[in-house]
Amino acid sequence: MEINTSRNLRCFFVRKNKLRKFFLLSTSLCVFSSISHAEVKKIHHKLETKSDNKKNISKKEAKKLSPIKEFKSNGVEEVTVTSRRRKETAQQIPETVQIFTGKDLNRLGVQALPDLIKYTTNAQNLDFYGGAMPTWVIRGVSLADFNPNSTPAAPVFLNDAYQPSTVMGTGTLFDIARVEVLKGPQSGLYGRNTIGGAVRVLTNKPSFDRSTGSMAMSYGRWGDGHINAAYGAPINKNLAFRIAETSDHGWSGWQTSLQNGAKWGRKNRDAVRLEVAAKLEDWDLSLDVHGSRDKTQLALATAIGVYGSGGSFCNAMIAGYQDQQNCLTLPQAFGDTSQAASRQTQDGTKVLSSAVNQLDNKAGGAQLNATGKIAGLDFTSITSLDYFDYGLRYNYAATGPTYATQVEHTPMRMAQENLRLSSGKSKHLEWLIGADIAYEDLQENKQFQLFDNALQTLYTGLSGESNTGILTYTQKTQSYSGYGQLTYHILPKLTLDFGARSTWEYKTYNGAFQLSPGYYVADSVKRQYQLKDHVTGKLALRYQFDPLNMIYVSVARGYKSGGFYGGFPISSTAQIDPYREEQVWAVEAGFKAQTADRKLIVDGAAFYYRTYNYQNFQQEYSAISQTITTTLTNLGTAVNQGLEGNIVWRPVPSLTFNLGAAYNDAKIVRSSQYQLDYAGNLVAWQGQRLPYAPRWSLTPSARYEHDLGNGSYTAGIQMNYNFRTTLNASRGVGAWINNVPGYGLLDVRLDLVSHKQRWNLALMGFNVTNVHYRTVGQTDGVGDYQQIYGTPASYRFQVGYDF
């Protein structure tokens, strides 16, 4: 589909009501930045006065009087990032980026990447399986899919290696240097499927100077044990290594299955990584080899009663609320009183579901990095080879009998090459060119076991193991792209950044669907998809008042690939027909300001995204299952617009406050399509809010430290709160099942750290107020309905040593 660029650009600027926020924000930016600029001038004036009084001041003394360095030890620590393929501070980047250092991750108690989402401003975690497929939803941009073949809208990059599936984001975080969360389309530098942003995970590297390492052990509620260890050292002046390992295991779980009394929710995952680095004259080489396994028990869903005694929907279901006492589950409606919804608790701790939900993932790979000089230019090569075997067993029905259990095994193989050539730092013009090549092979093997499903037996006449849907397919992807990035210093304080990329992408699907073993509904289903809208990029203009304060405005264009629905085509093979890529135009205006002593840092941005060919699930009736099912398609045009800001304030060296806040208005503004609610009524998509895009979200935190024992130790207390309003607000009969009410969670940490920060002891509490909250609500498409609750109050004791 061709896109009229001039027409789309006009769409942004004729909507003056929607862009009024930008002008209001710009006014406030200028005022704030002017104040900060005046403060810096004032400090410079004082320094000049001191200089006049001391005519023979030395360079060393002058450096001590620098407004940036004078209070650095008392201000917020400055972090160097590489999100734009060069070293700079977060305050120099003309976009919104949130940084978590290894120390931050430790203080937050983050063990796996999905744990970090709740601490990220304007980001949510969408996971249909209670931990198997965490999806980053940044500023309301994502794809609400439950199949591993779909591409993420905010992908994870592990040491700059693109992770093509959301199932690859479940891994543990260990020996991490930092995590950079980039917000907004990143299609220029990072390529395909980054319309929501990008999550960069960067590990610690070998040191050529000295040996370093760390150890940490923790024990928590339900026997949750965790061990991290890392050690690195130089072998000689040109060779160094670093090895790291993590092990995360539990002896119990927070849930109880009412089928057999089994405790459920144990963690069971291990990972190891070895990196060897070498210096060869003007070249630096490194080889990273890694592997992991994960057999963690996933959250068990709570069955929702929606039926009356006659088999039709109960009154509460139609009226729009939950009534577990009077409404029946599907097995209960067929006479199995042991599967009564009323037996469950309303916090997810006691459930009807059989204890089967579990991962079975295996992963491994290698990455070879080379950096050096070619004709005076900086050259980088990153070669990655990875495999990821995704294994899942999940009870969709959330009851004891096998009404709807999904068993899945999906091996994935990936090969990537990234080449970059850059000019390095320059006074007027800096440039970078690069090329990306990627091959991906995914082989899906999925069963949908309906052994005891009386409703499907009634419709199909199948029962027992013969009542099993089987889906197998292979999806292959090839992607080639070239890109460039320019930074032009128009004036000493005015800079233009421009990046563009052209991508060629091709996908194939070859599969078959069996309604019962040996009974093929569809065989040798072949489909092809080729990216049509392949040009993306970003233009940013920034004005730097001084090294501490700047304002910027940017326009970006990105895409999220099209592809194929990876679920069961139980309506028809037309469900496999390729859907088109999304195209996004995004405008962002923002500021970054700080005081000279870095005791106060304030960042803010206003954003407006317009998405064409928005991808999401469409509900339709299946004549085979005689229920409402879903398929993936393009729905129309969506708009995300809002405000986002972050304040860090350290009034005294021992006290730090942080406040992240966001407002987001995300909905479908143009669509001719309709969806079916659970009663079969048509409901318009136009005006529907986007999933997991709360209007308001907050992430405030505070930390206080106090010296003990004549400064030998530092005791600290830290509180982190995260809050969001309603996550999902669909419409129609039964919409309350999918809608997720807002909630807030409070975490607390008490720690004791030695003066040289080698030993540390910590006691951490998570969800300390024991809030009962839902994370997802859904149907299995064959008559069952369920919801997943979040983890209740828990604690963890940790001891660590760095050397």
Residue pLDDT, tens place only, 39-96: 434 444 443 444 444 334 444 444 443 333 333 457 888 888 888 888 888 888 999 9
pLDDT of amino acid 13 = 35
pLDDT of amino acid 683 = 92
Q: Distance between CA 190 and CA 170 in Å, rounded?
A: 21
| Residue among 202, 136, 196 at smallest CA distance from 168 | 136
Q: What is the pLDDT confidence band of residue 623, given thresholds at 50, 70 and 90?
A: low
Instruction: Give the lowest-confidence range in 7-16, 286-295, 410-419.
Output: 7-16
Query: Is residue 199 within 8 Å of 118, Cβ to Cβ?
Result: no
Count CB-CB contacts under 10 A for residue 226.
22
Query: Is residue 607 within 8 Å of 657, Cβ to Cβ?
Result: no
pLDDT of amino acid 575 = 87
Q: Are strands 212-220 and 283-294 parallel, antiparallel or unpaired?
A: unpaired
| Residue among 600, 641, 606, 585 at smallest CA distance from 26 | 606
Q: Distance between CA 745 and CA 290 in Å, rounded?
A: 34
Q: Distance between CA 395 and CA 476 in Å, rounded?
A: 29
What angle, 0 to 180 degrees and rounded to 10, lies between the N-to-C axes of helices 16-53 and 5-14? 80
Q: Distance between CA 678 and CA 393 in Å, rounded?
A: 26
Name the residue type at position 517: P
| pLDDT average, residue stretch 507-535 | 90
Which CA distances in Å does 303 have to 307, 340, 579? Answer: 12, 9, 32
Query: Is residue 126 within 8 Å of 691, Cβ to Cβ?
Result: yes
pLDDT of amino acid 625 = 64
Helix (H) or strand (E) holding 440: strand 429-449
Between 419 and 31, name the one with better pLDDT: 419
pLDDT of amino acid 73 = 54
Among 57-71, 85-99, 232-246, 718-732, the range of highest mean pLDDT: 232-246
Query: Is residue 556 within 8 Å of 586, Cβ to Cβ?
Result: yes
The residue with tokens 């040491």 is: 159
Instruction: Give the lowest-confidence range in 261-270, 446-455, 603-612, 786-795.
Output: 446-455
Within 234-363, where are the H helices? Answer: 315-319, 330-333
| Residue among 803, 784, 780 at smallest CA distance from 307 | 784
Query: Is residue 562 within 8 Å of 578, Cβ to Cβ?
Result: yes
Q: Distance between CA 743 and CA 740 in Å, rounded?
A: 9
Instruction: Give the lowest-confidence range in 45-54, 579-588, 652-661, 715-724.
Output: 45-54
- pTM here is 0.89
| pLDDT average, residue stretch 330-337 | 95
Residue 301 reports pLDDT greater than 70: yes
Q: Distance between CA 402 and CA 657 in Å, rounded?
A: 50
Instruction: Give the lowest-confidence range in 159-168, 179-188, 425-434.
Output: 425-434
| pLDDT average, residue stretch 172-195 | 94
pLDDT of amino acid 755 = 81
Count CB-CB contacts under 10 A for residue 13.
9
The residue with tokens 């024990």 is: 219
Name the residue type at position 365: G
Q: Distance between CA 71 and CA 64 in Å, rounded?
A: 10
The two tokens of residue 367 are 């990455």
Instruction: Give the lowest-confidence range in 110-119, 323-332, 752-761.
Output: 752-761
Q: Distance between CA 88 and CA 429 in Å, rounded?
A: 16
The two tokens of residue 2 are 């061709």
Query: Is residue 154 within 8 Å of 184, Cβ to Cβ?
Result: no
Mention the CATH class of domain 5-301+353-802. Answer: mainly beta
- DSSP notation for 566-623: -S---S-GGGGSPBPPEEEEEEEEEEEEE-TTSSEEEEEEEEEEEEEEEEEEEEEEET
pLDDT of amino acid 568 = 86
Q: Distance between CA 586 and CA 590 in Å, rounded?
A: 13
| pLDDT average, residue stretch 208-227 | 96
Count CB-CB contacts under 10 A for residue 418.
20
Count CB-CB contacts under 10 A for residue 757.
11
Between 266 and 570, name the one with better pLDDT: 266
| pLDDT average, residue stretch 427-435 | 93
Residue 236 reports pLDDT greater than 60: yes
- Indicate the domain borders of the chain: 5-301+353-802
Contacts of 63 (CB under 8 A, 6+ apart): 69
Which CA distances in Å does 390 have to 154, 167, 255, 422? Answer: 20, 7, 24, 37
Share of the chain above pLDDT 70, in %: 90
| Residue among 782, 656, 604, 722 at smallest CA distance from 117 | 722
What is the CA angle 616-586-20, rounded to 5?
Answer: 110
Q: What is the pLDDT confidence band of residue 521, given thresholds at 50, 70 and 90?
A: confident
Count CB-CB contacts under 10 A for residue 35.
12
Average pLDDT over the chain reads 89
Q: Distance between CA 183 and CA 98 in Å, rounded?
A: 8
Q: Distance between CA 582 and CA 633 in Å, rounded?
A: 11
DSSP 8-class letter at 107: H
Q: Distance between CA 390 and CA 141 in Å, rounded?
A: 25
Report the sign of the C-alpha dihedral through residues 190, 194, 195, 197, in that order: negative
| pLDDT average, residue stretch 281-310 | 96
Q: Quick one: how far is CA 500 from the chain centroid?
A: 24
Query: Is residue 431 within 8 Å of 487, Cβ to Cβ?
Result: yes
Helix (H) or strand (E) holding 226: strand 224-236
The two tokens of residue 724 are 């969001």
Q: Distance between CA 666 and CA 640 in Å, rounded?
A: 4
* Residue 244 main-chain phi, psi, to 5 deg: -140, 150
Among 31-45, 76-90, 621-635, 661-675, the range of highest mean pLDDT: 661-675
Which CA distances in Å does 792 have to 222, 258, 349, 362? Answer: 11, 18, 8, 29
Q: Quick one: how far is CA 47 from the chain centroid?
A: 45
Helix (H) or strand (E) holding 31: helix 16-53
Count CB-CB contacts under 10 A for residue 658.
19
The two tokens of residue 5 are 């660029």
Q: Distance between CA 72 and CA 677 in Å, rounded?
A: 58
| Residue among 233, 236, 252 at smallest CA distance from 244 | 233
| Residue among 470, 357, 385 at smallest CA distance from 129 | 357
Distance, first Cα to last Cα, the chain: 57
Q: Which residues pair with 202 in a beta bridge?
A: 178
The two tokens of residue 330 are 């599907």
The residue with tokens 């007027």 is: 428
pLDDT of amino acid 624 = 66
DSSP 8-class letter at 260: T
The number of residues making up the chain comes to 803
